[in-house]
Structure 1
């Protein structure tokens, strides 16, 4: 008689036979904590064993998969912090060299005698080879089961976990718990788009009979993710449009004076967006608008204009930033013009002295503090606004939905303006920010210098330092950006400390400061202020300066290991220079070998200054994480879908979701019972139906 199982879909993954407490920690690193998580653990590719080639049959430039045993293994360090791991694989027909650059972690994973499955492009250097290919270490049980025609799912792994561990656990989960999965979509929707049932899709995700069925399984799960994501947005938008807001009609008593004081003329784009915002604020429903624009497009000026409209109507306005550096930047940059308007701005952060914090909180409560800049400190319980009319959130992706909602809840349905310096194409913006109205700034203010970007190899470093020295002698300033604070043997990246020492050696006589996330806030702020006043010539920093730092005198940026950053992040960093009238120079110090794909990405950045083009490329190259990681706080997870590759499915899901909410706003009709049930399940996990 078979032993009765007590495994449930909600069971911790450690109770799956063969996992246990120790191995469950490895699964946890991959986001798999329950049997449900395991069922939804998606392979990132599949290998069809009917396509595995013998090594002797490989041709140069082929994309191929081979399986062989490690015969030789050699690891050595090269110049410039690089490393090289070389192995020789043999499969009985021939042998081939396989190389990995800058992967010191692999030397502990492989040993002579291991059987590897290797996939990649066949190269040629004296003889055929693979360079930085995908790989899997094969378990003995897998080797015996890898008959021709078998489809093998390849899962993400971590140290201590083999492909066989995951496959074995997935089989147990599917065999014992698949029946517990409830359908989430109405049959009409499944039939409309020819989607598998949910249990069928999970089974074929892990154990497909052919690649096509695996693709169909993934398509169903991607649609699910997109549909419930868009459903939440549709419900949010419906909820917002029903709320009573504050009609803040512009009088011009402050805004006209403000525009007249500006030392430049507003761009056509700024004027158009200001008109959109003014019309929104005049309505008797809360404004809920996203203002996205490229680096340096003038979003802050537009935001201040909106804040002044609130002040004209005797309401308060607040701007919340994710970091103290950014909050202080707004405060200092706008202080002069606000004082000329007879307005006293206030700054409230966690570093504000306790006595001052209490005074500012009291003024906010009494309404004498009319315009306030700050960080998370603004949403603390003791901070009570008198008449909050407008809440502005800068770089909103860095806040959770609860924090944003907490700021809005400081007033009675105040207007809400979100600023984002990570522009995305309008079609995607409409899809991802479907609950917000969207304004876009593309045009940059005139009389800005040109930013020249150049990839710098090791042999060109000295020439770059000569140019940097020349700029410093002209009275300009420079940023040096590093990916890590301290040196790590595992990462082999230049640290802030090492860069500081090199700068002092190569550029003697110049004052150099350091800023990174581990410094105490007061020290970090003081260093930034010294750099802002030009008391420091060079600032060595991590990405804490990625947004908001405005130093018009800075014309040089040196970025170490640009391969470690995404295109959007590189563009944000580069946006710290070229903010004055002078030309600026961004040097990408690329000292080590990178893959052709990585070099292509960096070369694309070198040639492009358009943030929208870079964002589109980033989506295509890096998948949805860059954007969705910033958007999905308080919304259902999107882990499987790809915003670029699955765009058509995304638009279908959006149309279906908004149509459903239009037909049945509360989703109570019997034909949508499956949707309602899944929505309730998600609500238990997520902070739903809150303005985000």
Structure 2
């Protein structure tokens, strides 16, 4: 792979090569994620100021920005130090004042000499009936012009608008003539401008419409980013597909035993997913598949079928969960089924130490353990398999693209199945998992009771506790989730402990348990175990329990201050109940008055249990980064593209990227060569390395 094409060099030069930028300013620019001139091109204006001129300050709406041609009148220096310097000016109809709080008399004389014609533009206001303009933004001599609509850029302390605008103009002058990488038919259909024209139009909006995501120039630039991103994922997918896998073909004998032992028939969606996975495993290339299913759609059974396929073929399989509680739970729910099939299943967590751990490692290396369930501890260097065919990752978002790649390096040919219980909107699934094939479980297995969801103001806490007391006396169990305090674990903890004490005094010492994120794992597991065994009836918790906990007898979920949680999280929490035969309830307690978004959130939850609909609504309400939780999402940070408002473009870019590579897998044709330039331009050159590996 050759280096960056020469015609792009000017866009990747040092910032100091742009007009008006020295080392100090370049450092400040870094706060805006701007390192080279190319970054400035993709830093679009976030607003604008109307600078269209008026004949007189009287024609402007005050207070507001006015642009007025004037004749400079007399200067009125301050009589005492610390008072403002005033200059009278005449426009076509009236006299008003320009006011300065800093600067020397000499300087003001030079800028605004009496008798001269100038154009002033800045914020003006009425003061005792007289218009004043303190520190005009612009003072122009006759013949100089201002754009009628001045773009406003994001700034950082110490960086002025003038400096950024000047630097952007400098960067725009460097844009070379580039061949077109977008499909011409799509360009024509959307009415999109060419790349260089789009940049110029986006940086010189002629009104508020030019700032909207729907503005053709902005749409085109957003599409460029999304296309580069999807090309990268499509190349990763293509290179993945060229990676040799192991042909893993089972004969069905173990799977049949498990199906015979089940008290129900799998749903059509489960059967379809099982077949897709088995077909993938039988291919000579490596599987990279995402199994997406809503709370309670039966992902575990589908995963078990895949694990058994590996065992039938004489290989081994591993299932990994993000936490120890979950790993234990998976092991407990899978063990009886593995026993029915006559397969050895073992659990390995960070808690296994010394001799016990060594014995498990020896058995793994010898091939005596067919299925290993564990936390990410199974990644450690000393864990070796005799013949690992499949890794199932129960992801809960804590397992990003990077870790998937790491797993690939450890066992380059191992098939990978990632499970997620968060129904992700289609557009985001493409962003995060565009390199994977998708299986979706969109039906609920029989026997799950619908959950009745109700909202209750916090003021009615006593009624809720009374209801709880009645339910407990009938032998039912409940979760009580404490509010999420702003980013502070200590405060989360305090609120949980306070609620724990209050409920114990109301309901009785012995029947209320507590789990929170800062407990030592052993205590947390013990508290969970007491609740699972029915020794405690109420479990007070911070959100530790949102992930995968299964207690069929728990039929009440109280979420305190529900308005502080996101939709997807509330949906996950609600999914903890409704797992048994009893009618289940979820109480969303809120503090009045509710904001508009919070109200919409709680309303959607009352209306539907469909996780996919909830996730689409969540995307609308909160935005992409929040839905996935930007920090661990591995979501790319786009400069122009707006995933909420331009979700449709992502699906389009995904189709387009795959079609382009299907027609030109090495990107050698004219459009392919142009696409290479786009990848260089958006710094997705990792993708180009995938081409050279191919």
Smaller-chain TM-score bracket: 0.7 to 0.9
Q: Which residue of 2 aligns with 1:3?
A: none
Pair 1:170-2:164 in alignment: yes
Report the 3-state secondary structure (helix = DSSP H, G, I; strand = E; otherwise coil) of the residue aligned with 1:263.
Answer: coil
Q: Which residue of 1 aligns with 2:415?
A: 415
Distance 2:136 2:360 in 1: 68
The correspondence of residues 505-654 of structure 1 with structure 2, limited to 5 A, is 505-626=505-626, 636-638=636-638, 640-654=640-654
CA contact (8 A) 1:179 1:199 kept: no
Distance 1:471 1:38 in 2: 61
1:629 CA drift (Å): 5.7
Report the 3-state secondary structure (helix = DSSP H, G, I; strand = E; otherwise coil) of the residue aligned with 1:613.
Answer: helix
CA contact (8 A) 2:450 2:578 kept: yes
CA contact (8 A) 2:571 2:611 kept: yes
Distance 2:491 2:21 in 1: 35
Structure possessing the higher radius of gyration over alpha carbons: 2
1:255 CA drift (Å): 0.7
Q: Which residue of 2 aligns with 1:682?
A: 683
The correspondence of residues 240-255 of structure 1 with structure 2, limited to 5 A, is 240-255=240-255
Query: CA offsets per residue over residues 5-30 of structure 1, 9 Å max, x none?
Result: x99765599x99699599959x74x7
1:141 CA drift (Å): 6.4
Distance 2:649 2:435 in 1: 19
1:335 CA drift (Å): 2.1
Deviates more, 1:679-688 or 1:468-477: 679-688
Query: CA offsets per residue over residues 268-309 of structure 1, 9 Å max, x none?
Result: 322222222223323333333221111001000110011001
1:622 CA drift (Å): 2.1
Distance 1:492 1:635 in 2: 27
Report the 3-state secondary structure (helix = DSSP H, G, I; strand = E; otherwise coil) of the residue aligned with 1:265.
Answer: coil
1:666 CA drift (Å): 2.4
Deviates more, 1:583-592 or 1:186-195: 186-195
TM-aligned CA distance change 1:12 to 1:143, over 3 Å: closer
TM-aligned CA distance change 1:325 to 1:312, over 3 Å: same
Q: Which residue of 2 aligns with 1:233?
A: 233
Distance 1:205 1:340 in 2: 64
Distance 1:237 1:545 in 2: 34
Q: Which residue of 1 aligns with 2:655?
A: 655
CA contact (8 A) 1:246 1:413 kept: yes
Gaps of 5+ in 2: 1-9, 53-61, 66-122, 126-133, 141-145
1:610 CA drift (Å): 1.0
Pair 1:501-2:501 in alignment: yes
TM-score, with length taken from structure 2: 0.74
CA contact (8 A) 1:432 1:631 kept: no
CA contact (8 A) 2:248 2:313 kept: yes
Distance 2:360 2:321 in 1: 17
CA contact (8 A) 2:266 2:445 kept: yes
Q: Which residue of 1 aligns with 2:112?
A: none
TM-aligned CA distance change 1:479 to 1:31, over 3 Å: farther
TM-aligned CA distance change 1:481 to 1:662, over 3 Å: same
Deviates more, 1:412-421 or 1:427-436: 427-436
Give RMSD over aligned pairs.
Answer: 4.3
Deviates more, 1:252-261 or 1:678-687: 678-687
Distance 1:475 1:40 in 2: 61
Distance 1:208 1:33 in 2: 24
Distance 2:631 2:254 in 1: 34
Distance 1:153 1:274 in 2: 54
Report the 3-state secondary structure (helix = DSSP H, G, I; strand = E; otherwise coil) of the residue aligned with 2:285.
Answer: coil
Selected match of 1:210 from 197, 207, 212: 207
Report the 3-state secondary structure (helix = DSSP H, G, I; strand = E; otherwise coil) of the residue aligned with 1:254.
Answer: helix
1:527 CA drift (Å): 2.6
Query: CA offsets per residue over residues 402-438 of structure 1, 9 Å max, x none?
Result: 3212323443522221212122456775676443332
1:330 CA drift (Å): 0.8
CA contact (8 A) 2:568 2:627 kept: no
Gaps of 5+ in 1: 1-5, 51-64, 69-114, 118-138
Distance 1:511 1:374 in 2: 31
TM-score, with length taken from structure 1: 0.75
User: How many residues are matched?
Assistant: 599
Q: Which residue of 2 aligns with 1:327?
A: 327
Q: Which residue of 1 aligns with 2:372?
A: 372
The correspondence of residues 322-401 of structure 1 with structure 2, limited to 5 A, is 322-395=322-395, 397-401=397-401
TM-aligned CA distance change 1:361 to 1:688, over 3 Å: farther
Q: Which residue of 1 aligns with 2:263?
A: 263
